[in-house]
Chains A and B, each alone.
Chain A
């Protein structure tokens, strides 16, 4: 008995050691590149490709941050990116919520409109970039925040609509109906009952939209120039004829992680619920 008991115990211990090893390995896998990026951002240029590698610089420096943010106008890129991404995200969430609600509750557009919305994502963006560029130039909105906000709103809408559509559709109608009978209009029932209940999906869709805008490169490259350029386009300047500016690239990359981390922490609670599409609604 005793022998069996202890072998059982040690089996459990083995299993838990195995689990921690696996988790540790995974953590290393995720964090190592970030560490290396950080490490590179504070290294003197001479240490970038040194052999053996420099795990932590003897004399950490902030020159790359200064160069990336000011010489290469990274700070302006961040400000532009924040303006464009936040505006497009807000618009996409607002319009997406209205549209998803309409599709889910009133079956707007019959069987096919909802799928047509999603199908807009099947088109490779490269396919339309030239016409959009020409239209923007003619309208005089090339290289403006407004132009990029419009483009990003349109690009993020299909996925936003679909995430929220799925959520609204599985949400019981009866709470909104109770509000209607209770004396509210449809519009009031939407804002006071449906929207608060769909908050997890709205937050999840907004996070996705924000990340998509924050990291978008191609359209930003074509539709902006010296004024409305966004953060991702700044990285282009780090690869030049004199070789790559590793330190500056790493420094700006570290800075650009900031909003994603803040967002992730803020939205974590909602995000999980939104992504499981209400399966765990309490």
Chain B
């Protein structure tokens, strides 16, 4: 059980500034996911928490105690590495028990704990094998077993699923989430995959260029992104961004995209609009649906779209059309759209649209 408190953390690699002043609080028992594009400093942050990298500035505390100068072994953390990092010259049983041996646990106790962990992960028949005799998924389980058996106060994961094929990845993702539900230990999980982040996290910390761009519950970030970067990073297919002008027309506040004026519903519109302002209108595919009935539902805008690309996925189809000059993707029922070139009336739900300042990229 442990909470982590990070203050103004910095990490330099020579002249390169990999982590540029991060403040982060991770409550006890929470599943925190560090997500962001490759190279944004996620692994560096995680490895600094583990003690594998030395902080260049700022502090890291675990349960209120500053651990900057503690060795990894004194921090009571366990880590699962991207390449699993199993010890190739040891059997699976010895791999899992290696950390207990370091802590001078009696042999019988080690065997018992290794057995329990193996049971839990379904790898009992593999205990006498060597890592080279295992499949990727099995190696992954051993790596997790090596962490579990230690019963650490914090679990650290660095992209543990990225070397698995898609199906296995989904399966293991579920197991990791279940593991957290069962043992409720603090977990910090690094990934560049936004779906992994959304599905696993109690809280997402979205990073960019060594800084935290936004943090919060997954749905908060998804529905109320603070910047275009966050909005574009979460969600697939991506949110479409339409350059437009925010202003009032006929007493109604809305966004003009090309000659198309899209009124914003009460509550969604900013209270005061002085003149006009360049903005980006952010629309997610699921905010657009096929028009039903004579008039659009309140808060929606009807648009006669000319579909120019259809991508069926089975249950849903992604249809691309142009609004003004920009391509927009809509997520429709599979049977609502058949082919490119089709004309289709669509309702765009402006209640859920995001509006960003075109210059700063920040949400309005």
List residues of chain A with CB under 8 Å of any chain B CB: 172, 174-175, 177-185, 188, 193, 196-197, 282
Contact = CB atoms under 8 A, between A and B. Distances in A.
A177 B132 contact: no
Nearest to B80: A178
A180 B71 contact: yes
A182 B150 contact: yes
A181 B73 contact: yes
Contacts of B87: 175, 178-179, 193
- Indicate the size class of the contact surface on chain B: 20 to 34
B85 A178 contact: yes
A184 B100 CA distance: 10
Given A180-B73, A197-B88, A172 B83 contact: yes
Interface centre among B78, B102, B146, by most A CB within 10 Å? B102
22 contacts: A174-B83, A175-B86, A175-B88, A177-B72, A177-B79, A178-B79, A178-B81, A179-B87, A179-B102, A180-B51, A180-B72, A181-B52, A181-B77, A181-B78, A181-B79, A183-B73, A183-B150, A184-B73, A184-B102, A185-B71, A193-B87, A197-B88
Contacts of B81: 174, 177-178
Given A177-B52, A181-B78, A196 B89 contact: yes
Nearest to A175: B85
B50 interface: yes
B219 to A, nearest CB: 33
Complex A-B, nearest 10 residue pairs according to Cβ-Cβ distance, in ascending order: A183-B102, A182-B99, A174-B85, A178-B85, A183-B73, A180-B72, A174-B81, A181-B79, A196-B89, A181-B72
Interface in B53-109: 71-73, 77-79, 81-83, 85-89, 98-99, 102-103
A74 B88 CA distance: 45
Contacts of A174: 81-83, 85
Contacts of B78: 181-182
A199 to B, nearest CB: 8
Contacts of A178: 79, 81, 85-87, 146
Contacts of B73: 180-185
A183 B89 CA distance: 18
Contacts of A183: 73, 99, 102-103, 150
A188 B103 CA distance: 12
Nearest to B47: A177
Contact of A179 (B83, B88, B98, B132): B98
Given A181-B52, A183-B103, A172 B71 contact: no
Interface in B164-214: none
Given A180-B72, A181-B52, A181-B73, A172 B85 contact: yes
Nearest to A186: B71
B89 A181 contact: no
B12 to A, nearest CB: 15
Contacts of A179: 87, 98, 102
Contacts of B50: 181
Contacts of B51: 180-181
A158 B86 CA distance: 31
B83 A182 contact: no
Nearest to B97: A182
A185 B103 CA distance: 11
Contacts of B71: 180, 185
A193 to B, nearest CB: 6
Given A172-B83, A183-B73, 6 more contacts: A175-B87, A181-B72, A182-B146, A184-B73, A197-B88, A197-B89
